[in-house]
Amino acid sequence: MKKILLCLLSLHLITGNLYARDNTRVSAISDNKMQWWRDAKLGLFIHWGPYCLYGGVYNGFQQRRGGAEWIMNRCKIPYREYRAKASTFNPVNFNAEKIVCMAKDAGMKYIVFTTKHHDGFAMFKSNASRFNIVDYTPFKRDIVDELAQACRKYDMKLGLYYSQTQDWCNPGGLTIRKLMKEGWANPDSLEIDDFTAKHGGAWDAQQQTRTFNDYFYNIALPQIKELLSRYRDVAVMWFDTPASISKKQADDVMAELSRYPHIIINDRLKRPDVYGDYKTPEGLIPKNKDIEGVDWETCMNIGSSWGYKSWENQWKSSLQIIRNLITIAARGGNYLLNVGPDPLGVIPEEAQERLRDLGKWMQSNGEAIYGTTRSQLTPAWGECTRKDFPKHTTYYLCVFQWPENGILPFECPHKVKNVSVLTTGKPLKYTIQDGQMRINIKEITPDSVTTVIKVELKTKLAPVKLSYNADKNFKVTDEN
């Protein structure tokens, strides 16, 4: 009896937490559940579904606006046509272990996978909708299950993305109309535009044969329950486009989640009522002043689209990706870097190459990233992360711009124990006067990506306080 009461009390504390955050507290419970995530710093986002079969091309026209995962909406592909295409999805080269190992080698500590994106196709066996990889395609394998198993095997945390409101192929789901004037291949564009304007964004009458409430209680909530109960060890639930969901519907999801108090959720289930555990700036690195004291994660494409785009030509450089990660860590955030596997289930070679470069740098410099906190310092020559050890604090100076005179200035009003190059341990000479350090790096050959100088202090600094700023939200690009 005592056990049950304790259990109920902790559930109450946890669910209470998620709803009733104030500006000052991050409770011990929340700290506990967030710790692995805060330390992780780097994760792999995977956008994958039958939209990859189009690769951003419809009837010979390149989809020139929006992510390739939006092709059904942007090109107003009819309901039956899209479903017929999805029924041919057969990614025979998909290998969950290979993908998990690729992420691990890149230095990533968690994966967030699109179990169902806005097109409504479930990448797992679902009893709520036949429109899923097992029941609807010749492939018949449960991709979420295979990923979950591989994550368990290789000690990778698994996060599940689920589009709870938008759903274009399960009738009643939200259909947010998006236009694409550039090279739109659909000859009936004017007629369809007229239809969408009158039908709440839907472009096919089939999408409106049920109400949103029907969709929510017959598809979304049951599928969320399936995901939570079936795949064990789910570490993160990543919701998206919070528009339209009612308070009652969100409450029902939260009630379900309260059975899994260790699960971290993002801030996109329902705004403004459900704050979630962390903020989600998209495709951008926020300024220090915008993320003071909060947990946050930047999700960003490795190219220009979340879903696979066969004609991708805007790959970010490895240098850019690594420096993004450093900048994000220096400001206290996580980096969720996105890739989009192709129709056969393979991550494009260009993306793989960048993941390898990232892994190589992390292999020798990861100490400056994992387990660090925001430094609240903004040096002119680069970025600085900070780590608190039991008895002292260390700063990691990540030098983007090598000083021409070989002297690195660093404002440091603390007593210093040691200064060295992170990768080699080579000690460096320095002077310190009136809180201004001058580190001599003349003899160092700079790393082609970023050299890290480790400054160990004699003492431990006061911890950086995290509060919860419920008012601060970052725009969800496709919310409206």
* Residues near ligand FHN, by CB under 6 A: 67, 69-70, 240-241, 282, 299, 306, 476-478
Strand 436-440 vs strand 407-411: parallel, antiparallel, or unpaired? antiparallel
Residues 6+ apart with CB under 8 A from 433: none
Least distance in Å: CB of 67 to ligand FHN? 5
Q: How far is the CB of 250 from ligand FHN (least distance, A)?
A: 18
Comparison of 91 and 281: residue with beta carbon closer to ligand FHN = 281
Query: Measured between alpha carbons, how far is 447 from 450 in angstroms, rounded to an integer?
Result: 5
Cα–Cα distance for residue pair 369/378, rounded to 1 Å: 16
Q: Are 179 and 185 in contact (CB under 8 A)?
A: no
CA distances from 170 to 8, 11, 81, 229 (A): 36, 33, 14, 22
> Whose Cβ is closer to ligand FHN: residue 299's or residue 437's?
299
Q: What's the min distance (Å) between Cβ of 305 and ligand FHN? A: 9
326, 322, 306: which is closest to 314 by C-alpha? 306
Beta carbon of residue 165, minimum distance to ligand FHN (angstroms, whole number)? 11
- Which of 296, 261, 252 minimizes the C-alpha distance to 164? 252
Identity of the residue, 17 or 73, whose beta carbon is nearer to ligand FHN in the bound complex:
73
Q: Please name the residue that has the structure tokens 């996105």.
A: 338
Output the smallest distance, CB 66 to ligand FHN, in A: 8
Minimum CB distance to ligand FHN smaller for 383 or for 478: 478
Q: Find where tokens 């600085």 sit.
A: 384
Residue 372, burial from CB neighbour count under 10 angstroms (0-12, 13-18, 19+): buried
Shortest spacing between CB 397 and ligand FHN, in angstroms: 32
In this complex, which beta carbon is closest to ligand FHN, that of residue 134 or of residue 476? 476
Query: Between residues 341 and 382, which has the closer beta carbon with respect to ligand FHN?
Result: 341
- For ligand FHN, the closer of residues 53 and 457 by Cβ is 53
**Cβ-based nearer residue to ligand FHN, 431 or 477:** 477
Residue 25: count of CB within 10 angstroms of its CB: 13
Rounded to the nearest whole angstrom, what is the least distance from the CB of residue 442 to ligand FHN in the complex? 44
Residue whose beta carbon is closest to ligand FHN: 478
Angle at 282 between CA 280 and CA 288, to 5 degrees: 70
To the nearest whole angstrom, how small is the minimum distance from the Cβ of residue 276 to ligand FHN?
13
Asked whether the beta carbons of 396 and 452 are under 8 A apart, the reply is yes
How many Cβ atoms sit within 10 Å of the Cβ of residue 264? 22
